[in-house]
Amino acid sequence: MDHRELLREAWQRREGPVVFTTVSKEGVANSVYILSVTLDSYANFIIADNYFYKTRQNIEETAQGLLLFITDEGKSFQVKGDLSVHTSGPYYDEMKRVTPTKFPGHKAVVLHIKELYSGSTQYEL
């Protein structure tokens, strides 16, 4: 099974909150719970910037992020990669589709996967 299929299957079985972490240029981490997030067909995560402040600053400074979630079997998955920001286009449209209307959905932040871990296992990409 390739990493995208493994990730898709795990994502379908996720439970509880999803944690999104960014880091400043000084190396200070900032983590937030996110509710509006989806996985696209290329195994990129599309995250809604509803109320980001420090997270937005970190994205502008380093464009690096990490997403962490747990499956219904208690298996953790950690995805690391580069971030891009979109205010229009397909990523933005998909973010708006999955974001409840009560949230503003200012921008779509896309986590482009470079590293995938489950527990201590690193999967080759």
Over residues 31-76, the pLDDT tens digits come to 999 989 999 988 899 999 999 999 999 999 999 999 999 999 999 9
Domains of the chain: 3-123 (2.30.110.10)
List, in order, residues 6 or more apart from 108 with CB less than 8 Å away: 46, 47, 48, 49, 85, 86, 87, 91, 92, 94, 95, 96
1 pLDDT band, cuts 50/70/90, is low
The distance of Cα 62 from the centroid of its chain, to the nearest Å, equals 15
Provide the whole-model pTM.
0.94
List, in order, residues 6 or more apart from 38 with CB less than 8 Å away: 45, 46, 94, 95, 98
Alpha carbons within 13 A on the beta-carbon side of 107:
16
